[in-house]
Amino acid sequence: MALRSAEIAVGEVHEQVLVDDLTRTQIVQYAGASGDYNPLHTDDVYAREAAGYPGVFSHGMLVMGLTARAVTDWVGDGRLTRYGVRFKSQVWPGDRLTARVTVAGLRDDDGVGLVDLDVVTLNERGEEVIAGYATARVD
């Protein structure tokens, strides 16, 4: 069920809620699975008292991982050729995150059809927490 280029329109937008209420437990799950045990993300005492933050906050890579779902749910599995983001704002427990994937263009690379996507994820205040791009093969 891969995407077909004929069915894609430049400017088309797909929005997907990634998480309604980001929990500290999910951040802990990501720490365990990824191996990034930076206590800034999982240890509230450290984050507040040693590092000077209001509390723990998400790994940027958790947000990038959550956002990937919005891309792959739409373009299909194993079709990405590139995916990149800048981390723009911190993501905190309780945040609601929505990904917005916009078709930036369609092109042909040596007979391989590609779709270029702009990818942003917004928090409940409408702030971009990550912004980047993805490219996927299309039929």
Partner 1 sequence: MEQFTFPVEAGHILLFARSVGDPNPIYHDEEQAGKSEVGGIIAPPTFVQAASQYDPDYHLRPRIGEPWFGSGRTPSGVSEPASGGGRLHAEQHFEYFRPLRPGDVLTVTSTPGKTWEKTGRRGGKLVFEEHVTEYRDAAGELVVRARGVGVRPEKPVEQEAN
- Minimum distance from residue 113 beta carbon to partner 1 (Å): 15
Q: Draw the binding track, 90-129, toward partner 1 (x: CB under 8 A; -: no contact).
A: x---------------------------------------
x/- mask, partner 1, residues 47-86, rule CB under 8 A, reads xxxxxxx-----xxxx-xxx-xx-xxx--xxx-xxxxxxx
Q: Which of 11, 129 has the CB closer to partner 1?
A: 129
- Per-residue mark of binding to partner 1, 12-51 (x: CB under 8 A): ------xx------x--xx-xxxxxxxxx-xx-xxxxxxx
Q: CA 32 to CA 127: how far, in whole Å? A: 28
Cβ 101 vs Cβ 14: under 8 Å: yes
Beta carbons within 8 Å of 138's beta carbon, 6+ residues apart: 2, 3, 4, 5, 8, 75, 79, 106, 113, 114, 115
